[in-house]
Structure 1
Amino acid sequence: MSEHWDRQADVVVLGMGGAGCAAAIAAADAGASVILLEKMPEGREGGNTRISGGIWFNNLDPDGMATYLRALCGPYTLPEPVVQVWADETYKNTEWLQSLGVTPGVHADYKPEFPEMPGAEFYGGYLGVDGEMGQQLLFQALSAAVRDRGIEVLLDTPAKELVTSGDGAVTGVVADRGGQPLRVEARQGVVLATGGFENNPEMVRDYLRLPGSPVWGSPAGTGDGIKMAQKVGADLWHMDNMAATLGLRAEGFEAGMYVMFVYSQGFICVGKDGKRSHNEIPPQGHGHGFINGDYEHFQRRPLQVIFDEATRLAGPISPPREMLPVGWNLLIEGYDWSADNSAEIEKGWILQGDSPAELAEGLGIDADGLEDSVAAWNDACATGHDPLGRPRPTLTPLETPPFYGFTSAPLLGWTNGGPRRNEKAQVLDPFGEVIGRLYAAGTVSSTYSWCKDGGFHIADALAFGRVAGRNAAAEQPR
């Protein structure tokens, strides 16, 4: 069966996000012939890179950033060679992008999200294409570089299975092309860059314990690469790591909607009992908050988000395009949130009640608990002290009816776990042995075991995408 191939290339890359594009470019620049298979059709390709901020962090010093990454991992340590390659390669990201014709620029004045950690001073903030965030700019630059090299790109061609030889090494891929199997030989290696598993409800339930969470990003991230790697013997790492935030399910759209109370911070979060349990705005980074003296996933469970008429009228609770041009629904579906949140209330995404008790009934939570929580919150605002630790400038009362609320399940941004890999981006089996000619990069196998700072995921995808591409291209042809 393995003797028949419909296509052949030295390196086959699965996925056209940041990691996949970087791998394809690096392999081609190393002299390999490359075929890139992308699951999604034209206009929807690019994974989360396409609809993200497209930002990579400015690595000011590799040794310093290695210290920062070790601290961010906490007890979930990474192999030291992986740390070192990550630090060295993320330092090279900007120069590499410049070689592709990108003009990097500083985007605003972003500070490290975990300034108290060792090495944080070597985090140099956000860099973006022309200094801009989002707007698909990074994906456009990377995909143009792929096509400029004459790399064959097959869109709407999801990979289904890895083909192996008698010694267990990967020799190719079986994909679906127009409902028919397409067998693609990889004479030197296959790079998995298929994204995470946030859009696989079963995997999200089993690994993250978040049944029913809507997803912020591309619908493509259904864990395909992880499952294919498992089938050929891959071990897994940090499958319980993720980033989730406030957001809501948007009926009629594939993705959920991100919520951030920018114009007014008059909101609280309560559980099914109607009670607040934590500071809604702790010191936090991309997916973690400093809570009870330690770093925890944040948000990490379903909550009801409550606000009032004054907050509704203050401005959109989902950041507008001119403020944050990111997200699947905004950039791909073209959905712009209404300026006064009225359209989303009419759609039923946000529920309304003339009193906290009436709102609680619609949300299916305890009415007495919510009445007490709103009253206690307003008292805290009046005294300028919140027993749960909300910063004083955020103590905005909920006094103006009607009241509004929605369920944040929460909104799942991305996952971090996948096939375990080494510093060469080679996929490993449960005994630490290399699975021959199989590589992984990006969120299918993210470096990050615990806390992450801004621009880390794009930086990791570019760095290990290059590592995977050039190492696959260095394999001896079969």
Structure 2
Amino acid sequence: MAWDEEYDTVSVGSGIGGLSAAITAAEHGAKALVLEKFELLGGVSALSSGQLFPGPNHLAEAAGIEDRPEMARQYIDHLGQGQAMPEIRDEYLSGSRECLLFFDKIIGIPMQVIQGLPDYYYPSVPGSAPEGRYVEVRPFAASQLGDYQKKVLISPYGLYYSYSTSSEWVEMQQGGESLRSCIQRHVTNDERCAGAGMAAAQVLAALNRGVNLRTSTEVIELITDDNDGRVIGVVARDRAGTHRIRARRGVILATGGYDWNKPFVRRFDGLPDTGSMALPTVTGDHIVLASKLGVIPMPSRVPSQSPIFVGYKVPTELIYGIKPSYRLLVPGQPHSMIVNRKGKRFSNDSFYPDVVTKAARFDGQEDGMVNWPAWLVFDQRMLDRKGLLPVLAGQPLLEGMASSAQSLSELANEIGIDGNGLQQTVERFNCMCSNGVDEDFQRGINPWGRLMAGDPKLKNPNMAPVSQPPFYAVRLERVTMGVPTAGLPTDQNGRVKNAAGDVIDGLYAVGNSSAWMDWGGGFNSGIAGMRGLLYGYRAALHMTAF
């Protein structure tokens, strides 16, 4: 068979999983290639918060934070609701510790523990911890990349996403340096943070190890050996045409989710209409490629825990040439609430996992989706003090973002919900704000939600009255961010399995291209990123072991 090029490993996608595999393979002597469909490197993970959730780790221990593996196992078991296989869970925790040590000490990607950031469900869930289980990259000086400085993604959704760390956010909430000051300092020095910082650090690590990085290159076919079915290469297409590239050790599918493939979103997630903040090239290529080899994508076993967020449209904003754009909502801002068509609150609307779960409630054929559609309702004070991205505090909302009125009844009529229900809900909420206790949905009881959206100066950081006109309502949307419900079934080394459960030699899937099934369906920020880093690492170790 004639080949245009030959490599040991080929990563299809340049997110955290694809780069992790390429860096690890190169460190172990392999000749590695990364093919990225988008015009810039970094994938969806470059647009993320960059948080990793490894469980107990050496960085936390160095900071004097105590943790025990048995507690982390208990927490993960709760997230998975009995679906996680114990051996996969244990391998995740032990492997994450090993993987972090490798990238921190051997590869030299500087990371830090996010002190003061609790697990999602701390303290209400057994095994949860008040801090120490989240890790992030330190601010990374992009000038180190040389000619690649402009070839690595930063978020198009605003400076906040790429030039501030979670550690700085926590410190700001506790009275430290303002986030605006941090952002200005990082922008001035082009010090990239969060997912953008991890992407930049990984690209530098890859370049230093001779990894070949290509953008605007789409993989359109997997090549198999006619004798045994092993995957031995890919057909890639770029501006110059198609190329047959041999992969002597294996091909790693790391293309992310399928956000912009509407039939896939409808089929796997049961959502006929969603928006996305993912790259426009995230279209489920891994599913299309692997399906030709008899691979059936597998869904999460706990669909209500799938990380499909709530957010909103920004009709006048143009991102990636797609209009309108969408933003994720981190609910719980003071002077705001989330209501259904009856004008009623239905969740702990300071904690997005609870909002997402309750918004998806189906209450029989007669009532259907009782809490969807839903609206974010807020007053002028929220807009003045917090804003609503991309609108900063004190600025007017962009055209088409929200409906507004001088009274709650007028607002309800404008958006078509029950006016009496909204009036009663707001009156009760405002009354509860006086003592800072939400007797209905325990808003503000979750430390994670208080840190992410609250005002520490308030009695309850997430509660303040909705009372100063004009009043606003934003219709919420389901918004994806590259973390899908379905993915390719794999073993503990990332090897893809076909419909019969047999491993396909030479084919691996990592990160959001792989299914969560055996791990368990539960979700906690940082797990998606850690899975990408870990299984890219493990896949490369497996490929280079022979």
1:288–1:124 distance in 2 versus 1, CA, 3 Å: farther
Counterpart in 2 of 1:55? Answer: 51
User: Which one-letter code corresponds to 1:473 in the other structure?
Assistant: T
1:210 aligns with 2:245: no
1:339 aligns with 2:400: no
SS in 2 for 1:467: helix
Contact between 1:425 and 1:441, CA under 8 Å: does it hold in 2? yes
Counterpart in 2 of 1:145? Answer: 205
User: Which one-letter code corresponds to 1:373 in the other structure?
Assistant: T
Counterpart in 2 of 1:17? Answer: 15
Counterpart in 2 of 1:5? Answer: 3
Counterpart in 1 of 2:173? Answer: none
Counterpart in 2 of 1:227? Answer: 288
SS in 2 for 1:26: helix
1:17–1:384 distance in 2 versus 1, CA, 3 Å: closer
SS in 1 for 2:243: strand
User: Which one-letter code corresponds to 1:93 in the other structure?
Assistant: C
Cα shift at 1:433: 0.8
Residues 286-435 of structure 1 mapped to structure 2, 5 A cutoff: 301-318=372-389, 337-342=391-396, 345-381=397-433, 386=438, 388-391=440-443, 393=460, 394-413=462-481, 414-435=483-504
Cα shift at 1:287: 6.8
The answer to which of 464-473 and 409-418 deviates more is 409-418
Structure 1 distance, partners of 2:437, 2:8, is 64
Structure 2 distance, partners of 1:290, 1:201, is 20
User: Which one-letter code corresponds to 1:236 in the other structure?
Assistant: P
1:117–1:31 distance in 2 versus 1, CA, 3 Å: same
Structure 2 distance, partners of 1:210, 1:403, is 30
1:366–1:119 distance in 2 versus 1, CA, 3 Å: closer
Counterpart in 2 of 1:92? Answer: 98
Contact between 2:42 and 2:200, CA under 8 Å: does it hold in 1? no
Cα shift at 1:118: 4.3
Counterpart in 1 of 2:311? Answer: 247
Residue from 216, 224, 227 that aligns with 1:164: 224
1:374–1:120 distance in 2 versus 1, CA, 3 Å: closer
Residue from 461, 473, 478 that aligns with 2:544: 473
Deviations 1:70-96 (A, max 9, x none): 332113233x44223212211123311
Counterpart in 1 of 2:121? Answer: 114
1:82 aligns with 2:78: no
Deviations 1:292-319 (A, max 9, x none): 9xxxxxxx9541111111222222234x
1:120–1:273 distance in 2 versus 1, CA, 3 Å: closer
Residues 431-450 of structure 1 mapped to structure 2, 5 A cutoff: 431-447=500-516, 448-450=519-521
Deviations 1:361-416 (A, max 9, x none): 44343445434433443455468665532437244222222111111113323225
SS in 1 for 2:294: coil
Counterpart in 1 of 2:532? Answer: 461
User: Which one-letter code corresponds to 1:185 in the other structure?
Assistant: R
User: Which one-letter code corresponds to 1:365 in the other structure?
Assistant: I
Counterpart in 1 of 2:340? Answer: 271
Structure ranking higher in helix proportion? 2
1:175–1:400 distance in 2 versus 1, CA, 3 Å: same
The answer to which of 20-29 and 236-245 deviates more is 236-245
Structure ranking higher in strand proportion? 1
Structure 2 distance, partners of 1:357, 1:290, is 23
1:288–1:179 distance in 2 versus 1, CA, 3 Å: farther
Contact between 2:55 and 2:134, CA under 8 Å: does it hold in 1? no
SS in 2 for 1:199: coil
1:310–1:38 distance in 2 versus 1, CA, 3 Å: same
Contact between 2:359 and 2:372, CA under 8 Å: does it hold in 1? no
1:205–1:371 distance in 2 versus 1, CA, 3 Å: farther
User: Which one-letter code corresponds to 2:115 in the other structure?
Assistant: A
Structure 2 distance, partners of 1:340, 1:93, is 44
The answer to which of 425-434 and 129-138 deviates more is 129-138
Contact between 2:109 and 2:202, CA under 8 Å: does it hold in 1? no
1:171–1:48 distance in 2 versus 1, CA, 3 Å: same
Structure 1 distance, partners of 2:443, 2:81, is 26
User: Which one-letter code corresponds to 2:205 in the other structure?
Assistant: A
Cα shift at 1:168: 2.5
Deviations 1:148-199 (A, max 9, x none): 1111111110222222233332122122211732222222211111111233
Residue from 234, 239, 242 that aligns with 1:178: 239
The TM-score normalised by the length of structure 2 is 0.74
Structure 2 distance, partners of 1:301, 1:474, is 51
Contact between 1:114 and 1:285, CA under 8 Å: does it hold in 2? no
Contact between 2:220 and 2:234, CA under 8 Å: does it hold in 1? yes
Structure 2 distance, partners of 1:373, 1:179, is 61
Cα shift at 1:453: 2.5
Contact between 1:63 and 1:87, CA under 8 Å: does it hold in 2? no
Structure 2 distance, partners of 1:367, 1:93, is 54
Cα shift at 1:256: 1.6
Structure 2: segments with no counterpart, 5+ residues: 57-67, 140-164, 167-192, 362-370, 445-459
Deviations 1:309-351 (A, max 9, x none): 1222222234xxxxxxxxxxxxxxxxx5322241xx2322122
User: Which one-letter code corresponds to 1:76 in the other structure?
Assistant: Q
Residue from 129, 133, 148 that aligns with 2:137: 129
Counterpart in 1 of 2:61? Answer: none
Instruction: Tell me how large the CA RMSD over aligned residues is.
Output: 3.1
Contact between 1:191 and 1:472, CA under 8 Å: does it hold in 2? no
The TM-score normalised by the length of structure 1 is 0.83
User: Which one-letter code corresponds to 2:509 in the other structure?
Assistant: A
